[in-house]
Amino acid sequence: AQKVTQAQTEISVVEKEDVTLDCVYETRDTTYYLFWYKQPPSGELVFLIRRNSFDEQNEISGRYSWNFQKSTSSFNFTITASQVVDSAVYFCALSEVSTGTASKLTFGTGTRLQVTL
């Protein structure tokens, strides 16, 4: 069975600090996809990134970066120079690859990030 662990329940940082959100996953599949979603206080879930298991290159998008390490089954998310608007719950998710059917996401329990001035 697939499993996603986000051990950090809540993180508090001061604005402009860098912060890393950890994500560790378990799967028996050799091909899979990993995702990160953001849930701001308004409640909606916003897609941030999708990464497949064959691509271990780090990804950078503005202040966001993602580090995928297959050897440690981790897909960590770093926010550089955090801002108050980054305050949200962040979810890591794992998807199997199933031919001809829906790809069901298994979510971690989320990490609540609080950025203060």
**Chain residues in the site for other proteins (CB under 8 A):** 4, 9, 33, 35, 43-47, 50, 52, 91, 95-105, 107-110
We find the least distance from the C-beta atom of residue 13 to other proteins, in angstroms, to be 21
- The DSSP symbol for 106 reads E
Query: Contact at 8 Å (CB) between 113 and 90?
Result: yes
User: Residue 41: which of 88, 79, 84, 9 has the closest Cα?
Assistant: 88
End-to-end Cα, the chain, rounded Å: 41
* Shortest reach from residue 79's CB to other proteins, in Å: 19
Closest separation in Å from C-beta 90 to other proteins: 11
Cβ closest to other proteins, residue 13 vs residue 105: 105
Question: Which of 43/62 has CB closer to other proteins?
Answer: 43
The least distance separating other proteins from the CB of residue 82, rounded to whole angstroms, comes to: 23
DSSP letter (8 states) at residue 41: T
* Closest CB to other proteins among residues 15, 39: 39
Q: Where are the beta strands (DSSP E) in 23-87?
A: 24-26, 32-39, 46-52, 59-61, 64-69, 74-79
Q: Smaller CB distance to other proteins: residue 7 or 81?
A: 7
